[in-house]
Structure 1
Amino acid sequence: MQVAHLHRGALSVLDFRCQAGPHTPSAVERHDLTSVSYVRCGSFGYRARGESFELVAGSVLVGHGGDEFVCTHEHHHGGDECLSFKLAAELVDEFGARPRHWQAGGLPPLPELMVLGELAQAAVTGDSDFGVDEAGLLLVGRYLALAGQRRRAPLQAQARDRRRAVEIALWLDENAHEDIDLQATAAQAGLSAWHFLRLFARVVGVTPHQYLLRARLRRAAQLLAGDERPVTAVALDAGFADLSNFVRSFHRAAGLPPRHFRHAARGDRERIAALARRLDRRRH
């Protein structure tokens, strides 16, 4: 495991890069602080409080300070990378969230969180004028705004089914720019469309089509933050054939139209303030 400390303070930011695979022994660990982590790529299993989750690119892991947990890597050889935001006790108190909101465990890829995860990653790589701690606070705030609305059911699936779903999630992530439908995805898994739809949704937490669209939104957020090409070119590169559909989907996820999101990523404080106000309204 490689860990890089990117920012220290009430909100500490760490970059985790894990190369563990199916043959790596799992060990019991403990969350030293409450944290919200964005899964940048790869996949891993997470077990805490008697519940199990499979996390893939775009997922969010919420760790409760003091809780024991186990990470597993039985379904993926390529490791995983996470951008983790750890909150000091005074910051947890300042957010004023209910204790159960810090005990959610794993969340499926949610567009409202993914775009901010990618914004934070752009800040890490220098493709955005955002501070990585600023993006982290927005991500935590957006998570808490959603926490009362969404609760992922604990994972109940056989190991073989979990492996199939994770492998297909990784395949969708790599091929999101292609024209992919449910039948083609199910064929890739060697299952009927109906069987595969139920299996994938049970393991990953969203349907294959939802995951595909969210993989495209993640790609679009990356490009908008660090690329100068027109929005139309970004939409096509990310896999959206229809510009108006892309603009609607991105606006709904990010709270800002694509052009405004790009301006915010480049340090336009007016756009940043607009995004922060929208988050505050959602929390209250």
Structure 2
Amino acid sequence: MVAGLLVYAGGMTTTARLLASGDGWSVRDLMCTAGPATRPFEERHGAMCIAAVLRGSFQYRAAPGAALLAPGALLLGNADTCFECGHAHGVGDHCVSFHFDPAYFERILAAVPGARRLDFTRPSLPPAPALIPLLAVVEAAVAEPTDIDAPLLEELGLRLAGAVAAMTAGRKPSREPSRRDERRIGAALRRLEQAEETIPLAELARDAAMSPFHFLRTFRRVAGVTPYQFVLGERMRRAAVCLSRTDEPVSAIAYDAGFGDLSTFNRRFRRVMGASPTAYRRGGSP
């Protein structure tokens, strides 16, 4: 669940921790414990908001539309607008939320070719492969509460806002999924996020009472990525955070990420993150 500049009624289920702030911007770490039994309520974005989902999934509804958000997705919120979050498919989520005053955000847009609208016309962006390296740096930057680097968070907020502006320029809002599809894919996303081993596509489809083709098509429409892309993105992002924050051997990190073969892990990490695991650990992250 994502709060605006202030924590509203969501304070009962959401813990918001201010990480850093400056002239026209702020960053908050948000931990939510809401679940299927928690009644959704209306909140308000106090500023332009871009929230990176790190854990959990939830439904988000605002004026631009509705979306099912999963790890790696970005919630988009317009200043002084109301929204609602729900957790019909599972308990809790963890987000890092970047807030920008409209005037500050407008200055960012002015430097992005093709970005003309100040307001977001879509409620979210899916877990796009192009965003994985940036979100890994964001997660690593907030992983240690006693080691928050405010200048780094300001830079990351600017980079994230610029990336969102570039990705949304000229894009038409996607069609909202049905409640039935949202429920089925929401359950699949939760299962994939928590799984330690690969789950066959046929098994996911069977549990969702769909044919494999229909499940794959529906999953991509609701989540914005395929099941494989979602799982790979999660593994690479978590591996990148471990490389940044720990001294664990690369082989151990590869194994924990679900790769039994180190060469395969190295190859896919380089393709997704733009650097080898060793180079990334030395500071070669994007």
TM-score tier, shorter chain, comes to 0.7 to 0.9
Task: State the secondary structure of the residue aligned to 1:53.
Answer: strand
Instruction: Say if 1:112 and 1:142, in contact at 8 Å, map to a contact too.
Output: no
Distance 1:100 1:253 in 2: 30
Letter in 1 for 2:180: R
Moved over 6 A (4+): none
Residues 154 and 225 (structure 1 numbering): CA distance in 2 closer, same or farther, change over 3 Å?
Answer: farther
Instruction: Structure 2: state its 5+ residue gaps.
Output: 1-13
Residues 236-281 of structure 1 deviation map (CA, whole Å, 9 limit, x = unaligned)? 32123554554454344434443333233xxxxxx46xx3xxxxxx
Instruction: Say if 1:118 and 1:222, in contact at 8 Å, map to a contact too.
Output: yes
Distance 1:255 1:36 in 2: 24
Distance 2:116 2:266 in 1: 34
Distance 2:177 2:205 in 1: 20
Task: State the secondary structure of the residue aligned to 2:57.
Answer: strand
Distance 1:103 1:64 in 2: 9
Counterpart in 1 of 2:74?
60
Deviation, 1:171, is 0.8
Deviation, 1:84, is 0.1
Residues 99-135 of structure 1 deviation map (CA, whole Å, 9 limit, x = unaligned)? 2673331111123323322322222223988633333
Instruction: Say if 1:189 and 1:196, in contact at 8 Å, map to a contact too.
Output: yes
Choose from 17, 26, 31 the match for 1:12. Answer: 26
Distance 1:2 1:201 in 2: 31
Choose from 203, 220, 224 the match for 1:201. Answer: 220
Deviates more, 1:224-233 or 1:244-253: 244-253
Counterpart in 2 of 1:113?
131
Counterpart in 2 of 1:103?
121
Distance 2:157 2:121 in 1: 18
Choose from 250, 255, 258 the match for 1:239. Answer: 258
Task: State the secondary structure of the residue aligned to 1:102.
Answer: coil
Deviation, 1:184, is 2.8
1:2 paired with 2:22, answer: no
Counterpart in 2 of 1:280?
none
Counterpart in 1 of 2:189?
169
Letter in 1 for 2:45: H
Residues 23 and 129 (structure 1 numbering): CA distance in 2 closer, same or farther, change over 3 Å?
Answer: closer
Counterpart in 2 of 1:254?
273
Residues 15-38 of structure 1 deviation map (CA, whole Å, 9 limit, x = unaligned)? 122222223232232211111100
1:221 paired with 2:240, answer: yes
Instruction: Say if 1:108 and 1:152, in contact at 8 Å, map to a contact too.
Output: no
Letter in 2 for 1:160: R
1:155 paired with 2:168, answer: no
TM-score (norm 2): 0.80
Distance 1:99 1:222 in 2: 33
More helix by share: 1
Instruction: Structure 1: state its 5+ residue gaps.
Output: 265-270, 276-284
Task: State the secondary structure of the residue aligned to 1:103.
Answer: coil
Letter in 2 for 1:80: D
TM-score (norm 1): 0.81
Residues 151-210 of structure 1 deviation map (CA, whole Å, 9 limit, x = unaligned)? 6613222x23211211111111111x4233312322343433123212222221222122
Over aligned residues, Cα RMSD in angstroms? 2.7
Q: What is the percentage of aligned positions where both structures have the same residue?
A: 38
Distance 2:272 2:163 in 1: 11
Residues 74-99 of structure 1 deviation map (CA, whole Å, 9 limit, x = unaligned)? 222x1212110111234312212422
Deviates more, 1:128-137 or 1:193-202: 128-137
Aligned ranges 1:9-158 → 2 under 5 Å: 9=22, 10-76=24-90, 78-95=91-108, 96=110, 97-99=115-117, 102-126=120-144, 131-148=152-169, 153-157=174-178
Instruction: Say if 1:11 and 1:85, in contact at 8 Å, map to a contact too.
Output: yes
Deviation, 1:6, is 0.9
Aligned length: 264
Distance 2:148 2:41 in 1: 38
Choose from 179, 184, 205 the match for 2:203. Answer: 184
